[in-house]
Amino acid sequence: MSIDVPPMETTALKFAVGGYNAIENPDETFAAKAHVSPGTVEVEAGGETSVRVTQGDVEHLGTIKVTIGQIPEFESETFRVVVIKKSSGAMLGDFKSPPDDTTELRRLPSSGTAIISVVDTVLNNVKYSFASQRSRSLLEAVFSNDDMKKDIDCTGFSSCPLK
């Protein structure tokens, strides 16, 4: 339920029984807790009572969308993605993602830089890697087939001179 109430005014409305916890925007880049007072009320059938609902301090947050593009060699595999805060090294996210998929990390710190890395993967003696990306809040990091570096692991192969 949503209603606009001008500051310093009282508005009467009917609302359903239940808990009211927080407000937030769709990207969850800001949120504020709802404070209801009194915490519990008893109302006789057909009766009325007053409650006060106030909004707490707004908390500003960040969001990053991480997309792994279509990568034919990995259509039945997953990539491990790690997101850390550059300034502190704090882990912001650690998840697996299949190709052609987007993962949204929400409620991140509102400032600073995140380093988004796809962990190197070896498949059929080929090492696949991506350069790490840096992102500020509410941005998108995309890792596509064109961004992928492929190195063939020749460890243990015999050499053959060419003439």
pTM of the model: 0.66
Question: pLDDT tens-digit profile of 93-115?
Answer: 999 999 999 999 988 888 888 99
- Please state the domain extents for the chain: 1-60, 62-152
CB 73 within 8 A of CB 147: no
For 62-152, give the CATH class: mainly beta
Question: pLDDT tens-digit profile of 62-77?
Answer: 889 999 999 988 889 9
pLDDT at 84: 94
Residues for the chain: how many in total? 163
